[in-house]
Chain A
Amino acid sequence: MLLIRCPYCEEERPELEFRGAGEAHIARPANIAEIPDEEFEAFFFLRDNPRGITFERWRHIHGCGRFFNAARDTVSDKFLTTYKAGEPKPDLGAIRGDKA
């Protein structure tokens, strides 16, 4: 069972309190009603599913209830960092550098 740091609760909590919510940083187009099919396909259906570092959404559903974002390595299953919804993608080089 993972421990996940909730950026709102500011501490690590057991995975059981969380729910994954798919890839992060995919913004719903403001003019969604007008976008062409290809753009809708890219927005709604297509996902990267990389081997390695992925940005994903989580919700602390049984805790503070907040959605937040995480950078996680799909190979080691390790979280590199978590950050609040709406914040930009963090500089992972700097994070890994800090830890080295």
Chain B
Amino acid sequence: MAETAIVKADRREPMAGAAMANAAVTIKATAPMSRLSLRAGTDALPALSAALGLDLPQRPKQTAGHGDRAALWLGPDEWLVLDLSGADLMAAVSGADGVFSAVDVSHRNTGFTVTGQGAADTLACACPQDLRLAAFPAGAASRTVFGKAEVVLWRQSETQWHLECWRSFAPYVFGLLKEGAEDAVLT
């Protein structure tokens, strides 16, 4: 086998450079990051938390973060772990004790940040959840729907949201976000 002269493939994100901004809201596709779909029973949580360097949250809609890394509670045995630095999350948890499932979904999802006074209104053009602060406080996260796409919403601050969807849904989600932003600036 020819082991020499391997041609190295390059990486192309589906929404590279996608952005829009108006007086109410700024939308940007996020840079590539590491993502892990983590599934585990409660017995494995201490070891996994230690391996990841954060306390995996155990209550609905909670998130936990440390540095570039965050874990979002998506279900009673499910977390989405994100790492902005691109660290190898599969390697991080591989040695942890206990029964769990770790699956690399770094390329499955595409992220957007939606920032500004009109961010929640932008999302409300197609998300039926109650996005008021009392129901969806800063630091909360949830899987939900955005139009016809399934998304994960993470409210990073009162006016900043991180949104994730599967990559092939990203152009649709971005299109809908733009329409939402165009309307959010009006009302």
Interface residues of A (CB under 8 A from B): 1, 8-11, 13-14, 16-17, 62-66
Contacts and interface: CB of A to CB of B under 8 A. Distances in A.
B128 A64 contact: no
B76 A17 contact: no
A87 to B, nearest CB: 14
Where chain A touches its partner, the secondary structure class is loop
A16 to B, nearest CB: 5
Given A8-B76, A13-B129, A14-B128, A64 B60 contact: yes
A25 to B, nearest CB: 21
Interface in B46-97: 60-61, 74-76, 78
Given A8-B60, A11-B60, A64 B143 contact: yes
Interface of B: 60-61, 74-76, 78, 128-129, 135, 142-145, 150
Contacts of B128: 1, 14, 16-17
A15 to B, nearest CB: 8
B145 A64 contact: no
Nearest to A64: B75
